Chains A and B, each alone.
Chain A
């Protein structure tokens, strides 16, 4: 029986083929990864279309492919709220972040925040915000990988986590950003292609009319599947989640780092355009995949294999394309996780090496050879930590960890990034306070929320009523930055803003 943990020969074959291809890419990339610029930014030679695909590859995690398809299959319209929510952050990245970031920084987004402020305090604060986001995102991906691979390939959870950690380490350690970028491009093409074929196979039964498919879903399960259900019962909570999804995208370190891989800000702009097109197309496909699974597989059959519904898309592949297609889609799902984990590890290594080691420990007195060695040591350390966290958090509900990562990104990283680029009076102390307050308040309020207090700890009540803290923590982080900067203005930091403004538009020239 498919998806019950029996080893599937076709799936393992496709999976091994992907590993072989991606390690081949890594060997090729390792020959070009001699300098620090290559390790962090692939020599800034990535084209707009390539970076657009890689951004899409970085962003379309297993949560969005398997999770949303499953959510739509089980709850219909309510799942679509997520499809929409994950996309709307991209225009914000385009309008506010991409081009100035490319013009102001070199390797990490802290480069931008620290551009006219004091290096050490800003870098330490940004590193705390970045590493918190990366840690929770990594845990979610690792735990998701372990569960998924157990279901798809019949491997034990710990073995699966170990494989993901080791393969990711090989990509990043030897191939740096070049290998990571190409793994993401290959994964994005496979995922977009596989999902498109799957959607076409489903629609073929409905003379390629999605409305006929939706109507069949409504006939089987009632018109309720096309209208809002119980997911958004509290409007404040819905807005709060929406804010975190929308602004969190613009604060994810591994996404922001990708803008340094292109030659200039115009290419950065075009690459977000491509990414928005691909990601939007993909989420439109999830409408078809989710309702297709609902109609073709049935809700009971989906929840029998996995109560969370995560197996809806692979099961649908088996139903409409047979075992070989199931194997292909399963391998694509695994490739998806590997690519996202590699991107996260690389941005974590850049934070540890570039922000903390070079600019705080060595106070800027470090050569690029030393920085490259430290970045590689950091990569190994991150791989070990992520394998350990994956095993430690086995069996945890991972959905809230992705939410947590977005909430911290939106509260800790986004406000300070925007203010540093657009508000001349932001001071070092203001930036530092904003990042710390954003990180801590998001962590504390999520701990006190119903998601932890009631669902995990089984308490009767939660201290904080909202499941997502964004509506409180994002404005709080902005307010703290502004109040602290107003209370103790630093005229020389404000005077440096004019030169920064010039660089925002013209780059370093």
Chain B
């Protein structure tokens, strides 16, 4: 299948796009798991560290807990950016 694409619009075969999306989805999933289970493992194995106060009212544990939520937001945002800017462009290429 010859593919002629508009300038600046990338085009990949379906197989390549499948592999790319799968790789990105899997890496982001693994990143989320590392962040979350890293937090849980610290809770389980290094309670003194998490209890240490950075400033009055803010312990390392509370900060890291809030950062896990922020990390979930950031990873989601990264995916949406990639999908809106790149993935959708490849799909347009495939539909043509």
Spell out A's residues near B (CB within 8 Å).
77, 80-81, 83-85, 87-88, 90-92, 94-96, 99, 210-218, 223-224, 226-228, 232, 234-235, 238-239, 242, 246, 266, 269-270, 272-273, 276-277, 280, 283-284, 287, 422, 501-502, 504-506, 509
Contact = CB atoms under 8 A, between A and B. Distances in A.
Given A88-B72, A94-B76, A242-B37, A212 B59 contact: no
A238 B25 contact: no
Given A94-B76, A280-B69, 15 more contacts: A77-B61, A80-B62, A81-B43, A84-B39, A85-B36, A88-B35, A88-B72, A90-B72, A95-B28, A96-B25, A215-B57, A235-B44, A280-B73, A501-B18, A509-B95
B73 A501 contact: no
A214 B43 contact: no
A284 B69 contact: yes
Contacts of B2: none
A273 B91 contact: no
Contacts of A273: 76-77, 80
A410 to B, nearest CB: 13
Contacts of B61: 77, 80, 226-228
Interface residues of B, number: 52
Interface in B39-96: 39-41, 43-45, 47-48, 50-53, 55-59, 61-62, 65-66, 68-70, 72-73, 75-77, 79-80, 83-84, 88, 91, 94-95
Contact of A506 (B44, B59, B95): B95
A266 B76 contact: no
B5 interface: no
Given A218-B57, A266-B88, A502-B14, A84 B36 contact: yes
Nearest to B33: A246
A84 B32 CA distance: 12
Contact of B47 (A212, A215, A228, A283): A228
A210 B63 CA distance: 12
B57 A269 contact: no
Contact of A91 (B21, B37, B62, B76): B76
Contacts of B56: 211, 215, 218
A84 B68 contact: yes
Contacts of A276: 72-73, 76
A505 B44 contact: no
B32 A87 contact: no
Contacts of B72: 87-88, 90-91, 276, 280
